[in-house]
Amino acid sequence: MQISVEDIDLRDLAGAIRRRYGSTLYTSYLRGKTVMRDAIESELRCSAYQAEELVETLEMMGYVRFPHLEDDTHPLTRHAWVIEEDKL
């Protein structure tokens, strides 16, 4: 099903991910993005590409956060993704 990112309530979507995984998702950066993409794909019955765009948007808007290093990269090891229903 084709969806528009603009038509999705990001707060509700973050809440759905939080209900599924809790307030933290302990995994690597890429694995966490994949897990959330798959959850969104299942929740919205959208394509993997659309779900990936939504994960990117959730991260950019502050609904999901992963630690950054000083050089603005992400740690390669497992850390906690923080899943917020309200942006900081």
- As a whole number of Å, the CA-based R_g of the chain is 12
Kind and range of the H or E element at 27? Answer: strand 24-27
pLDDT at 1: 62
- pLDDT of 88 higher than 90: no
Does CATH number 1.10.3470 belong to domain 5-83? no
Q: Higher pLDDT residue, 26 or 68?
A: 26
Check: CB of residue 24 under 8 Å from CB of residue 83.
Answer: yes
pTM (2 d.p.): 0.85
Check: CB of residue 13 under 8 Å from CB of residue 40.
Answer: yes
Type of residue at 44: L
